[in-house]
Structure 1
Amino acid sequence: MQEPRAASPPDPGPRGDTHHPGTLPPGARRSARVLRARRPRSPFTWFFGFLSILGPPLQITALGLTGAALFIAVHDPQLPSIESLLQAQYETPLQVYSRDGALMAEFGIERRQPVAFSEIPPLVINAFLATEDSRFFEHAGVDFVGLGRALLSFAETGAKTQGGSTITMQVTRNVLLSAEKTFERKLAEILLTLQVERELTKDQILDLYLNQIFFGHRAYGISAAAALYYNKDLDALTPAEAAMLAGIPKAPTTNNPVTNPARALARRNYILGRMLELGYIDQAEYEIAVLTPDLARLHRRAPELEAGYVAEMARQAIADYYGEAALSQGLRVTTTIESRLQEAAQHAVRRALRDYDRRHGYYGAEARVDLDGARDADLDTYLAEVVRVPDLTAGLVLNASADAAEVYLAGGERVTLALKHVAWAQEFRNENWRGPKPRRVTDVLAAGDLVRLQQGTDGQWELGQKPRVSGALVTIAPRDGAVRALVGGYSFNESKFNRAVDMRRQPGSSFKPFVYAAALHRGWTPASLLRDEAVKNAGQEGWNPRNADRKELGPIRMRRALALSRNLASINLLQDLGLEDAQDYIQQFGFDLEALPLGLSMALGTGEMSPVKLAEGFAVFANGGYHVVPYFIERVETREGQVLFEARAPQACADCWYRSGDASAMVLPTSPLPQAPQVIDPRIAYQMTSLMREVIETGTGTRAKALGRSDVVGKTGTTNDIRDSWFAGYQANFVTVAWMGFDDFEKLGRGEEGGRAALGMWVDFMAEALDGLPVASLEPPPGMVQVRVDPNRGTPTRARGGLLEMVSEEFKDALQGPEAFRVAGPARAADTSVRRSAPRVMDDLF
C-alpha cells in the first residue's frame, strides 16, 4: 500500500505574484533542488556511514586509530622535545675536598656516579635486558609482543604480573613525563617513545636508562648502586651481583638486598635463570651464581677528613653564588684546607675543651635509665638514639660498687671502671668551686647512668663527659690569607654554629697590639715610657678601669707594658694618641668601624669580632705590613673537570720578610699574582713582632715557650670576669687564633685567662703544625737602627746594663715619642719591681 501523498500547494495563477506561505515560487523550485544536490556531505556523515558497513571488532579498531590520530594532531606540538632528554642533568652531589684531595663532605639528595656507556660491562647490560626488556634490540620502542603477553596474563589471572613497558618507555616516562597513570599520559609516552627510538641510538637509550634509574637508599644509576651495595667498580661485579642490581629497580625502596634480602635474593635467582635462558651466561656460571650468598650492605663513602664547619661554609658559598640548583650539579669544590693541619686543629680544640671540663668538675650523668629487665638489644636500641660525640663513647652503667662499675658500650661490649678511672670527677659546684675528691666509685656513678667514656693514651677506658664550654681555632697563611685549618666548635654534628666565623665576641687584650702599632706610627718607640696609673678624664661615666692585679706600676716601657698586658698603660697611651687617629690607622688592618668603639675602652678590646677577623689583622704583622683577606675556596670545577673558578688571591711580598736559612719561608708563586696592598710600614711590623716575642719570653704568654722555638709570637686576651679566653699569634707560615668561652657568656672561672685556656689550645695546635719546619729568622727592614736604652728611663745610655732596641731611624733621637713621659728624680729599678709585684697572669680586660 502506497503512502498518501502530501497535497499539492494551490496554484497561484499565471502571474505568480502571490504564493502560499512556506512555499517557493514556482520558478525557484528547480534551482533549489539543484543546490541541494550539489551541497557536500559532512565528514562525520561519511565516517559514521563507513562504520555502519563494518563489524563491531573493526569498528572498535577504527575508533581507536582515529582517537590516536586526533591525539597526535592535538598534542604532538605540546610534547617535550628529545633535545631535553639529551640535555637532562643528573642530580649529582656537591663534593667538597681539602687542598690535598681528602673528601670533606657531599651535599645532595641523590647519590650519583654517572658513567660512560662504553665503561658498562656487557654482563651488567645483559642482566638488565634479561629482566626488563629482552627484545630491546628488536623492537622500535614499543614491544607489541610484550604488551600482548602482559594483557593475556592479566586476562587469565586478573593480576598485573607482567609489565609491558620497554626500556625506552621507562626512559621516556622517567625523564620527560610525570608519573600519573592516565590514558592521556600513556598515549603521550608511546608517542614520545617512538620519537626517541627514531632520533637516538639503542646505546644512547641504554646509557640514559642505566645512569638514571633509582636503586634505593638515594642511589641513582648503576655505578652508584655498585659502589653503594658492593663497594665495587662495574667491571668487578660478578654475575650474581649484576643480577641482584638488575632486580632492584622493580621495587627499589622495599626490595633492595639491604631492606628485604629474602625477596631480593629470590628475584636475583629469577634473573639469573632468565640470563641462562637467553644465553647470557652458561650453565656453570648459573649454578655458581645461584649458590653464591649475597654480601650486599651499605658502603656509604664516609668523609676522609672531618671538617664539617668548612664544608658547610663551602656549601653556603656555592648556593649563594651559583644558586641552590648548583648543589645537585656535581660541582667539585677544592678548599684551601690542609688535612694535617685540620686534624691537628680539631684535636687541639677537643682536647682543650675536655681538659677545661675536667679542671672544673663532673656535671653528673647525662640521663638516668630504668634498666629493670632490659636486654642487650634494648640497651643497643637506646644507645643508638644517643647523640654521638667524637672521642666520647656513650655507655650505660649496669651496676656500681665502691670499687668498680660495669658499663655497657653497645654491641655486647662491657668495660669496668675502677676508682682511678673516675678519680678526677669531683662534683661541679660553680666555675670556681668543686666538691671533694671521690673516695668510692659510687660517689660518681650509679646503675642506670648514661655516661661518656674516653680512651686514654694507654688504651684504658676512663670516665669522660661532653664539654659544655665552647671553643674555636683558625689558622691562615699570612702571605695570602688562605685558611689552612678552621674549627668552629667541638663537633659540627652536635652544634652547627660556626664560632670561628659567625661568632662576635670581645677580643680583650689580644687587641692591644693594634693600638701599640698606631702609637709606633705616630712616633712612640718600644723604649717609650707609658703611664701605668689611673686614667684621668676617662670620658665614660661610671667606668673605672684598672689592672688585673689592682696595682699601678707607674712609668713602664712600652715593651714591658705589652708583655705584662697592663690595662692602664694601654688606656693612657690611647688617650695620648687620640681616638680618631688610632681608629683611622687600625682600620687598615681590615677591621670595620663597628668593631672599633670610639672610646678609650677600645684599647682593652671592647669591640666585637670573630676569630677569623682577628687573624686577618694579625696577618698584617706576620707578613711585613700587607693586608690579605682570608679565603677558603681554592677552585670550583664541574663534574667534567671544567674550572669555573680559581682563586687568585692578592699576595704579600714573598722574598722580603721571614726567611728559613738562605731561602724564603714563603714559596714564590709559579705565575704572577696580584699584590696585596701594603698598609703599614714594615718597620712597624718588625717592632710589633719583637714586642709580641717579649709576651712569650717574659709576659703573659710564657706557656708558649714549651714549643722550644724562637720564631713564635703572640698576645693573650681575656675579657671582663674571664668570660672569653683568647690567644692570637703567628710564625712565618701560620697566623693562628684560639678562643674558648661559653655560648651563653657564663664565666670561665679563676685561672682560665688567655694565658692558660686559649693558649693551651694554641700551643697544642702549633706543636703539630710546626713539626719539622725550620726556625724562621727575621732581619730588620731598611731604615732601622739599634740603640741602647736605660731599662728604667727608656732614654739612650752607654752603660753596660742598657738594653738594645731596634727603632726607626727618624726616631732614634726621640725615643720617648711625641708625648714624652720622663722619670723625675733618681732612677728606680722599675723592671725589677714589676717582676716582683706582677701576678702570674694579668691580662684581664678590667
Structure 2
Amino acid sequence: MKYIKPLILLAFLSVLLGCAAVVGIYFYIKPDLPSVTVLKDVRLQTPMQIYTKDGKLISQYGVKRRIPVKLEEVPEQLINAILATEDSRFYEHHGIDPIGIARAALSLVVTGEKKQGASTLTMQLARGFFLSREKTYIRKIKEIFIAWHMEQVLSKKEILELYLNKIELGHRSFGFGAAAQVYFGKPLSELTLAQLATIAGLPKAPSLLNPISGPEQSVERRRVVLLRMLDENYITKAEFDEAANQPVTARKHGAEIEVDAPYLADIIYNEMVEIYGKEEAETGGYQVFATATADVQLAAQKAVVRNLHDYDERHGYKGPLGYLFNAPDPTSTDDKIPQLSVSVDLSEKPSQQDWTEDEIVEVLREVPYIKPLVPSVVMGMEEKSITVLDVNGVSRTIAWTGLDWARRYITDFRQGDEPETASDITQPGAVIYIRQQEGEWRIAQLPEVSGAFIALNPQNGAVEAVVGGYSFYQSQFNRATQAKRQVGSNIKPFIYSAAIDSGYTLASIINDAPINQWNAATGVAWRPQNSPAEYDGPIRMRKALGKSKNVVSVRLLRGVGLRKTADYLTRFGFDPDDIPLDETVSLGSSSHSPLEVARAMAVIANGGYLINPHFISRVLDETGNELWKANPVWACARCSRDAEVAKAADIADDDIEAKLEAQLNQDVLLANSDNEEKMMAPQVITPQNAFLVGEMMRTAVRTNGNWNKKTYWMGTGWRARNILQRTDIAGKTGTTNDSRDTWFSGFHRDLVATTWVGFDNMGRQLGRATRNQNLINRNPEKFNWIGNALIGTEDGAKAAEPAWIRFMQHALADKPYSPMPVPEKIVRIRIDRTTGKLTRRSDHTTLFEYFLQGTEPTSYVRDDEVVDPAEKDTTTRPEPEEIF
C-alpha cells in the first residue's frame, strides 16, 4: 500500500499537469487559431465553366479543378473506402481519435520517426482549410484543437461533404468529383470499384500515389484500400480479388468539353475577368451561358475551316512537313528539303525497315496536332493512291479524289501542272497532314490564309456564332473582333443608304463611266475603276449595287457630299476615327472588324435599329442561382412603337428627322409578347430606307431579268440564292485593291453574318488560281459555268462567300420563308427598265420598283427613249447551277 498511494498520487498529478499543460497550450496558441464558424458558409474555389446557350460545356477556367458533389450523389462504396482507409471510427469520435493518437505515439517512441499522423477526417479537413502539411508538433496540436472546434460547429454529414469536395487529390484536382474526371474522364457514379479505390487512396500522398505520376505505387495503394474495405466487411473476397487485379485505366483528362469553341470561350472569359477580376472569375464557380447555341457555332467553325482549305487547295500543295525516312538527296533537286523538327535523330534510321510502327507514332506525337489536321507518315503508294500511318496508329488509304488537287504551289499567283500519279505529289517517308472531308480522307496542309466569321441576331444583337481564325490553338488572335481590315465593297450598302436619305431612289440613273480626276496638289490623277473594268453607261441604282459598280459609288458620294456621307456612316455604329475623309471611303478604304460590319448590316436587316452585340446570355453562381441575365436593346421591326415614341417626344408623326433625333436621345421601354420589358434600340435610319437598301442587296445575291429577252444580269453574290434556293436573303460581296481583303456580308430577317478572308500579312495578296484539269475532269459538263469559281483572281464571291453560304445552309435549314415586310409609305410602281421613268408598257422593257412615297417618278418614258434589250447581240450564257 505504501507504493500504491504514491503511484495514485503521481498518476493524479500527471493527469492534472497534463490537463494543465493542454489548457496552457490551448490558451497559448488560441490567438493563432482560426474561427471555424466560417465553414458554415464556406465557398469552395470552383472553376468558371462556360456553356453554350443550350447547355453544352465549351470551356473551363481556373487553376483548381473542382466538381462539387452532394453527399447523396457520392457512391456508397467510395464513402466506405475513405472511411475504412482514413478514419474507420469517424462516426464515433469527436474530431480526435485517441486510439489513433496512441498508436502514432507508440510508433514514434519505437521508431523515432513520424510515420503515422493519426489524423481523422476532421483533422485532415482542418489542415486542408487552415494549416499546411509540414510535420511539426505545433501544427499537429493546432490541428487537434481546430478539429475539436469543427465537431462542435458542424455535423458529421457536413464535415464529410466538405472533405469530399475540399481534399487535394493531385493534378490540380480538388475533391473526389474532380478526381474522377481528371483520372478517368467520368462522373463518380460511373466508376468501378477498382477506380473508386484508386482515388480513395490519394489523400495520403496525392502527388506520389496518383495513377498517372506513379502507376505502380497507385496499384499498391489501391490494394491497401481494398484490404481495409475487406477487413471492415464493406466488400466480399470475390469483389476484392476482381478489383485488385484490374489494370490501371487512368489517364489525364481535361474538362468534359462538349463543344470546342475556344474563340467564343476566350471572349466570354475576358469579359468575366473584366467584371470580376481574374482570381474571382476563375475561382467563384460561375456558370456562364453564351448567346450562341452549339449547332450554330459548330456550323460556323466548319464553314470557315472548309472555306480556308478550299482556297488553300486552289493555290497548290506546298509539300510535306519533312521526312522520317527515304529523304531526297538535297543535291538532286533545286527545292529546299523540309526538315522535321523532332527530338529523334532521323539520320540513324534512313530506311523504312529501320522503323517500327510504335516508333513512328512516337515521332508523330511531336508534330503539331492542329485539328482537323492529323499528322501522318506515307508508308506506301500505288499509282493513284497512298497508304499512311497516322498519329493514332491507324493505317489509312487515301484515294485519288483526295490527292488530285495537290498540284505544286509556286506562288500565290502560280501553280504547277496537275499531278498524274501519286508519286508526283509525295513519296514514302514523307510526314504530311491528312484531314477528313465529307467522309473521305485527303492529303492536306495548314492554310497560311486566315479567316473570320461572325453571326448575330439582328433583333437584339445576341451573337449566334464567332470564329476568329482557322485554329485558336495555332493563333489566339481573334480576327472577328480584333482585326480591322479594309472592307471594300461591303461599305456600299451604307453609301447607298446615305443616297436614299438624300433623295435618290432605286430607279435613279447614275452614269457608270470611268472617272479621271486630276489632283493639282499631288500631281496625280485619281482613276477609280470597276472590277472587272467594265462600264454599262447610265444604270439604275439598284442594278449598280447588285453589280457592285465602283464608279457609281463614287458618284453617289459626290451627290450626297463627303462630310455628310462620313457623318451618316457613324449612324451604323462605325467609329468616326476609322472613316477617312476622302472619296476612297465610297470604295471601302475604311477599316473595320467583322463584328462592326455585322452590327452595321443588322441595321438594314432589322428595319433601321442599332443593336449592341453581346456574347453572354446569363450568369449563374456555383449553386445554380441566376446572378445576371442579359437585357439587350431590341429592334422594333416586329412591334409598333413609332406612335409611342412620337407621343413621348410630342413630335408630329411625319417629322421623321426630329423623330429619329428623339429616339437617339432617349430609352423607350416596351413590353413584348412574353411580357418582359425590353430596352428599345435607337432607330438610326427609317424603316423605309432599310427596306429599300435591303431590296438592292437582295438583287445582289441572285440572277436577274430574262435571258431570252436579253435583260439577264447576275449580282456579284448570285451563288447565294442559287444554292440556298431562298428569296428571303440579301447580301453584299467585298474586295479591296489587289484582293488583300475579301468579304461577304448578308442576312435573313432573323440572322445576319459577315465573313472575311485574307492574310494576316496585310501586304500579301490572295492571288489567283489557274485551271486545274483534274477538278474539271470530275464534272466536265459543269466547267463552263463553274470555271469562274475555280480559276481567276480571288475576290469576295470566290474566297469569302462560300463560307457564308455553307453556314446559312445549316442555320436557315429549319427557318420558314420570312420576307421583309413592306413598311408604310412604300409604293410599288412599274417603270421603264432603262430610264427609270414611269411607263405605260408591260413587256420586258419594264419592271416593278419600290419607292418611298413622294419620291416616285412623275414623268413617263417617251417611245423614242425606250430601249429593247432583245434587239442587242449577246453571247451564250452558261446555265448557273449548284457548285458546292
TM-score greater than 0.5 by the shorter chain: yes
Partner in structure 2 of residue 30 of structure 1: none
Q: What code does the residue aligned with 1:671 have?
A: E
Partner in structure 2 of residue 693 of structure 1: 698
Cα distance change, pair 396–832 in 1 and its aligned pair in 2 (3 A): farther
Matched, 1:215 2:215: no
User: The residue matched to 1:736 in structure 2 has which SS?
Assistant: strand
Partner in structure 2 of residue 512 of structure 1: 492
Partner in structure 2 of residue 502 of structure 1: 482
- What's the CA shift for 1:400? 5.6
Partner in structure 1 of residue 124 of structure 2: 170
- What's the CA shift for 1:591? 1.2
- What's the CA shift for 1:348? 1.0
Partner in structure 2 of residue 362 of structure 1: 317
Corresponding residue to 1:90 among 38, 44, 50: 44
Cα distance change, pair 302–227 in 1 and its aligned pair in 2 (3 A): closer
Cα distance change, pair 364–652 in 1 and its aligned pair in 2 (3 A): same
The whole-number CA distance in structure 2 between the counterparts of 1:834 and 1:712 is 32
Cα deviation per residue 1:1-51 (whole Å; 9 max; x = unaligned)? xxxxxxxxxxxxxxxxxxxxxxxxxxxxxxxxxxxxxxxxxxxxxxxxxxx
Partner in structure 2 of residue 334 of structure 1: 289
Partner in structure 1 of residue 799 of structure 2: 757
Q: What code does the residue aligned with 1:811 have?
A: T
Contact 2:498 2:568 in 1 (8 A): yes
Cα distance change, pair 435–680 in 1 and its aligned pair in 2 (3 A): same
User: The residue matched to 1:569 in structure 2 has which SS?
Assistant: helix
Matched, 1:748 2:731: no
Matched, 1:648 2:665: no
User: The residue matched to 2:178 in structure 1 has which SS?
Assistant: helix
Partner in structure 1 of residue 852 of structure 2: 808
Matched, 1:785 2:827: yes
- What's the CA shift for 1:402? 6.0
- What's the CA shift for 1:413? 2.5
The whole-number CA distance in structure 1 between the counterparts of 2:453 and 2:166 is 42
Partner in structure 2 of residue 46 of structure 1: none
User: The residue matched to 2:268 in structure 1 has which SS?
Assistant: helix
Partner in structure 1 of residue 772 of structure 2: none
Task: Indicate the larger mover: 420-429 or 723-732.
Answer: 420-429
Partner in structure 2 of residue 192 of structure 1: 146
The whole-number CA distance in structure 1 between the counterparts of 2:194 and 2:551 is 79
User: The residue matched to 1:433 in structure 2 has which SS?
Assistant: coil
Contact 2:63 2:282 in 1 (8 A): no
The whole-number CA distance in structure 2 between the counterparts of 1:63 and 1:449 is 82
User: The residue matched to 1:740 in structure 2 has which SS?
Assistant: strand
Contact 2:40 2:154 in 1 (8 A): no
Cα distance change, pair 171–351 in 1 and its aligned pair in 2 (3 A): same
Corresponding residue to 2:410 among 420, 429, 432: 429
- What's the CA shift for 1:120? 3.4
Partner in structure 2 of residue 13 of structure 1: none
User: The residue matched to 2:208 in structure 1 has which SS?
Assistant: coil
The whole-number CA distance in structure 1 between the counterparts of 2:556 and 2:226 is 86
The whole-number CA distance in structure 2 between the counterparts of 1:289 and 1:785 is 80
- What's the CA shift for 1:672? 3.1
The whole-number CA distance in structure 2 between the counterparts of 1:366 and 1:232 is 37
Contact 1:405 1:417 in 2 (8 A): yes
- What's the CA shift for 1:306? 2.3
Task: Indicate the larger mover: 360-369 or 438-447.
Answer: 438-447
Q: What code does the residue aligned with 2:357 have?
A: D
Partner in structure 1 of residue 781 of structure 2: none
Cα distance change, pair 428–382 in 1 and its aligned pair in 2 (3 A): same
Q: What code does the residue aligned with 2:805 have?
A: V
The whole-number CA distance in structure 2 between the counterparts of 1:618 and 1:758 is 16
The whole-number CA distance in structure 2 between the counterparts of 1:643 and 1:231 is 28
Question: What 5-or-longer segments of structure 2 have no aligned partner?
Answer: 1-7, 325-345, 641-671, 703-713, 769-792
User: The residue matched to 2:695 in structure 1 has which SS?
Assistant: helix
- What's the CA shift for 1:681? 1.1
User: The residue matched to 1:467 in structure 2 has which SS?
Assistant: coil
Contact 2:126 2:146 in 1 (8 A): yes
Cα deviation per residue 1:175-229 (whole Å; 9 max; x = unaligned)? 1123344444333323322322332222222222111112223322122333444
Q: What code does the residue aligned with 1:508 have?
A: G
Contact 2:66 2:174 in 1 (8 A): yes
Matched, 1:600 2:583: yes
Matched, 1:798 2:812: no
Identity of aligned residues (%): 39
Q: What code does the residue aligned with 2:732 have?
A: K
Contact 2:607 2:637 in 1 (8 A): no
Cα distance change, pair 501–428 in 1 and its aligned pair in 2 (3 A): same
Alignment of 1:138-537 (within 5 A): 138-157=92-111, 160-230=114-184, 233-234=187-188, 239-283=193-237, 285-286=239-240, 289-290=243-244, 295-298=249-252, 300-324=254-278, 325-369=280-324, 370=346, 371-372=349-350, 373-399=354-380, 405-417=386-398, 421-457=402-438, 459-532=439-512, 533-534=514-515, 536=517
Partner in structure 2 of residue 624 of structure 1: 607
Cα deviation per residue 1:59-89 (whole Å; 9 max; x = unaligned)? 9999987776555434412322112333332
Q: What code does the residue aligned with 1:354 have?
A: H
- What's the CA shift for 1:656? 5.9
- What's the CA shift for 1:159? 5.0
User: The residue matched to 1:193 in structure 2 has which SS?
Assistant: helix
User: The residue matched to 2:636 in structure 1 has which SS?
Assistant: coil
- Aligned CA-pair RMSD: 3.3
Cα distance change, pair 831–601 in 1 and its aligned pair in 2 (3 A): farther
Corresponding residue to 1:702 among 712, 718, 723: 718
User: The residue matched to 2:378 in structure 1 has which SS?
Assistant: strand
- What's the CA shift for 1:753? 0.5
The whole-number CA distance in structure 2 between the counterparts of 1:693 and 1:815 is 27
Corresponding residue to 2:682 among 677, 702, 705: 677
- What's the CA shift for 1:451? 0.6
User: The residue matched to 2:627 in structure 1 has which SS?
Assistant: strand
The whole-number CA distance in structure 1 between the counterparts of 2:746 and 2:201 is 60
Q: What code does the residue aligned with 1:749 have?
A: G
User: The residue matched to 1:756 in structure 2 has which SS?
Assistant: helix
- What's the CA shift for 1:311? 0.9
The whole-number CA distance in structure 2 between the counterparts of 1:830 and 1:677 is 45
What is the number of residues matched between the two proteins?
772
Q: What code does the residue aligned with 2:82 have?
A: F
Matched, 1:132 2:86: yes
- What's the CA shift for 1:618? 0.7
Task: Indicate the larger mover: 369-378 or 611-620.
Answer: 369-378
Task: Indicate the larger mover: 288-297 or 309-318.
Answer: 288-297
TM-score normalised by length of structure 1: 0.84
Contact 1:506 1:724 in 2 (8 A): yes
Partner in structure 2 of residue 775 of structure 1: 817
Q: What code does the residue aligned with 1:304 have?
A: E
The whole-number CA distance in structure 2 between the counterparts of 1:505 and 1:553 is 30
The whole-number CA distance in structure 2 between the counterparts of 1:237 and 1:446 is 46
Corresponding residue to 1:609 among 568, 592, 614: 592
Cα distance change, pair 583–226 in 1 and its aligned pair in 2 (3 A): same
The whole-number CA distance in structure 2 between the counterparts of 1:729 and 1:755 is 12
Cα distance change, pair 338–234 in 1 and its aligned pair in 2 (3 A): closer
Q: What code does the residue aligned with 1:345 have?
A: A
Task: Indicate the larger mover: 791-800 or 230-239.
Answer: 230-239
Partner in structure 2 of residue 23 of structure 1: none
Partner in structure 2 of residue 45 of structure 1: none
Contact 2:413 2:767 in 1 (8 A): yes
Task: Indicate the larger mover: 534-543 or 513-522.
Answer: 534-543
- What's the CA shift for 1:103? 1.4
User: The residue matched to 2:511 in structure 1 has which SS?
Assistant: strand
Q: What code does the residue aligned with 1:787 have?
A: I
Alignment of 1:537-548 (within 5 A): 541=522, 542=524, 543-548=526-531
Task: Indicate the larger mover: 569-578 or 287-296.
Answer: 287-296
Contact 1:791 1:831 in 2 (8 A): no
User: The residue matched to 1:696 in structure 2 has which SS?
Assistant: coil
- What's the CA shift for 1:526? 0.9
